Chains A and B, each alone.
Chain A
Amino acid sequence: MHKKTDCSYLPLGNCYVPGSEVGGQWMETTKKEVVTPTYNGWSDLKKNIRRNWQIYIFLIPALLYFTIFHYIPMYGVQIAFKNFIATDGIWGSPLIGFDHFTRFFDSYYFWRLLKNTLILSGYSLLLFPLPIILALSLHEVKNKYFKKWAQTLTYAPHFISVVVVVGMIVIFLDPSTGLINRIIVAMGGEPIAFLTSPSWFSHIFTWSGVWQTLGWGSIIYLAALAGVNPELHEAAKVDGATRFQRIIHINIPSILPTIIVLFILNIGSFMSVGFEKVLLMQNDLNASSSDVIQTFVYQTGLLEGQYSFAAAIGLFDSAINIALLIVFNYVARKTSDNSLW
């Protein structure tokens, strides 16, 4: 037992725990150097496939799906560089190069759209740790019933549709009848026009999002925490570690790989802001901070059927996402040894 405590402060991936039972308990995650025959070239691959053909069969449904529903439609990306004419189809439409991109970059609102999009996305990303904190906290609860109820209740808001959430926000934040403003007034303050003030928009948008997804987002971390080796805790207890210390030194390092990979995956969709909610919350007064790329696409692209333009902006978003993904993955790999690739 005591020997193993040595590794309790190390990242879990480097810790070897022998003799765990299959299934019910945590298993080691280090890559042992298993002696596998090395395959060289095409003929070896064929040999490998012949020997393990069933494993390859396992891949077929998923690969077929990705090919048909993701790779085949990718030819559609080209309309970003074309002037899409429905009757000529995607292939037949005339090529116009980067016109749609320049149109977007030249748009009077380009910088505002970019700024707002980055603010809203960045804000949500900043609050990325909240579900982790909730999960860590829930994990420590001893009372079974409290734990169960707390989990179910925090997860419930996920089921409320955006339309109703926005409706509730409007009711709660109404300048005269809303609960929040009545509290403010009761405490002697001036009512705040939350919904029409540009400076409040990002806060309302983001925190209502947190309210809705906090519990839902914590599920995956709770599941990860359930996998932390209890022996590590036992050993740390013997060493006199407090619960808080064990969270910091055992629980967090144990789920760190999960956190990092999820974080990087999140980065991969950085530029997509929940545009329906923005649209529902937007008005002429807060537009200066609520106008995002997606609403712009909606207004100029989809409603007017300008698919080429919308595709160009989509491509721009993807480019930013990929750039961010590469950067963050690099940083993660350099600093923590954990990364997506």
Chain B
Amino acid sequence: MKKMRIKVLFLFMTLSLVLVACNKDEETGVDREAALDNLNTENMPIVKEQIELDIFSGKSATTADDWNDVLLLNEYEKMTNIDITWNQVPADGLEEKRNLALASGDLPDVFYAANIPVSDIQKYGAQGTFIPLNDLIEEYAPNIAKVLDENPEIKKGLTFPDGNIYSIPTVYSPEFPSLLIGAKGWINGEWLEKLGMDNPETTEEFYEYLKAVKETDLNGNGENDEIPLSSVAQMSRIIHWISGAFGVQNKGQLHTLIDEDLKTGDLRFFPTSDSYKSMLEYLNRLYDEELIEQNIYSLEVDQHLANAAEERYGAVQFYNPNELYGEDVGNQFIPGNALEGPDGTKMYTGITSPLRSLGNFVITKVNENPEASLRWIDYFWSDEGSKMFFMGIEGVTYEETAEGPKLLEEITDNPDGLTLTQALAEYIINPGGNHPVMVTDDYFTGSENAPADKEAVGVIEPYLIEEVWPSFTYTAEENEQIIILQTDLSKYVAEMQAAFITGEKDFSEWDSYVEQIEKMKLDEYMEIQKNAYERYKGN
């Protein structure tokens, strides 16, 4: 009887499997000619007869709940004649849902702002799930093509080892360093004055300042509760500010383990270098003397904001203080300098590549109108389109002034008490979210464009590193190996970094740390990175 049951069960299972399997791959014959006939290769509308696109999109919590109600997209639908069904996925479930869609073959026409990792673009590009865009860009996307031509490093970073481009990226304009830097270092200017100190220029002066903050009741509340240096997201932001002084991570923030050896010009695994060690020693000194917020490794954003509101911080590495802490507290802060290290190195490495992220617009194989889809996004890369994307509709959200377009007062100073982001949500889908467009300072409304940030950039700019590497691209085989190697290495480096800084591990254990890293197949890892680097240079 047992056997019988199992047999029946087995039969049932296979049957249903066949059913499930059949359901899956019904590729419709794509009528290419009709689609191309319907397409206008120039100007609006993009298509003669209305078409529909099914788009999977990551949704930032700050944008409108339903993008079908957003003015920008409705206007754009009228302009383009393309009707879009937005399948919006909240950031929380983005990875799961995107992977499910890809793995189950339940594909949309386009993945938009879905933050697809480079390895997946490679994988699904090679499998044919994502279509190559090189030729399409040349033919149908003049604005994107222009950006790629003008910025060869973006094009290099976008091209996979098989020579194909599979995605339209998020690009931060190279002329907009404030955004490329993102969060910046800020010093409490009022406290500097009280202490009679100058804005620190070197790591030693910085140390002196922090020390003075620690020892003085600068907020005058009678308690010794001043916190000299703080940030959010563990130690990484503070390191963005400091690392340049030690010449560490000197090819930008997208590469967390490798950079260039400044002496030899070779590719370097920097977490085992001497300069990295001296940086950790410096940070360890700060931490040990309680100059860095002691709970920085467990600090939550709201705790940080609460401390800031009580005027406890002497220096922070974070976004625009006016935005974060409010005008009263925020106004006390002035931009921090790029710091000069003990051996005279002075550079600022806390900057990302203009090729901010790759996987925010891919066209899948089920898309019957890849040309129209590409044209749809290409418009937002034009000057006009970019203005529309970031500022909305003239007369509704902004007006043209002598100094360029300005958001209307009812947006910036909303009568219903809405914040800028809330007020904009009804009209546009920025800020927030990885949009596959080029962000320029002409129309960007975020805080990185605020006067304080521009001033901060002015201070840092002379010391910014010249070359910033984008993410490298790998072959399928390299990819598989490097994920394993990098997961182990990154984890070990991060944990040991924390341990050295906090004093959990003594620097006498440095050699065994280096040895351990070498044991973790460092040579294999560097071999792959070297190949990828050569390809990047040669592209």
A positions within 8 Å CB-CB of B: 42, 45, 67-68, 71-72, 74-75, 84-89, 91, 103, 107-109, 167, 170-171, 174-177, 193, 195-196, 283-285, 287-288, 291, 299-300, 302-307
Contacts and interface: CB of A to CB of B under 8 A. Distances in A.
A104 B135 CA distance: 41
Contacts of B124: 86-87
Interface stretch (B9-17, B37-45, B420-428): B9-17
A71 B298 contact: no
Given A86-B127, A89-B24, A284 B120 contact: no
Contacts of A42: 1, 4
Interface residue tally on B, bucketed by range: 35 or more
B520 interface: yes
Contact of B298 (A45, A86, A107, A283): A283
Nearest to B516: A108
B294 A87 contact: no
B295 A108 contact: no
Given A193-B298, A284-B234, A302-B96, 7 more contacts: A85-B127, A174-B303, A193-B295, A195-B297, A285-B495, A300-B484, A306-B483
Contact of B25 (A89, A171, A302, A303): A89
A72 B103 CA distance: 18
B498 A284 contact: yes
Given A196-B298, A300-B483, A283 B17 contact: no
B417 interface: no
B289 interface: no
A291 B303 CA distance: 25
Interface in B265-322: 294-295, 297-298, 300, 303
Given A302-B95, A305-B103, A285 B295 contact: no
B504 interface: yes
Given A107-B484, A300-B483, A304-B119, A195 B494 contact: no
Contact of A45 (B1, B297, B487, B495): B1
A74 to B, nearest CB: 8
Interface in B118-170: 119-120, 123-124, 127-129
Given A91-B21, A108-B488, A307 B103 contact: yes
A86 B25 CA distance: 11
Interface string B332-360: 00000000000000000000000000000
A84 B12 CA distance: 25
Contacts of B13: 67, 71-72, 74-75
A84 B303 contact: no
Contact of B297 (A71, A88, A283, A303): A283
A34 B33 CA distance: 78
Contacts of B34: none
A176 B224 CA distance: 12
B128 A87 contact: yes
B103 A84 contact: yes
B488 A86 contact: no
Interface centre among A103, A167, A304 (most CB of B within 10 A): A304
17 contacts: A45-B1, A72-B16, A87-B127, A88-B127, A89-B24, A91-B17, A109-B491, A175-B294, A195-B295, A283-B498, A284-B234, A284-B494, A285-B297, A291-B491, A302-B96, A303-B95, A305-B102
B50 to A, nearest CB: 30
A84 B120 CA distance: 13
B506 to A, nearest CB: 15
B95 A67 contact: no
Contacts of A288: 495
B9 A67 contact: yes
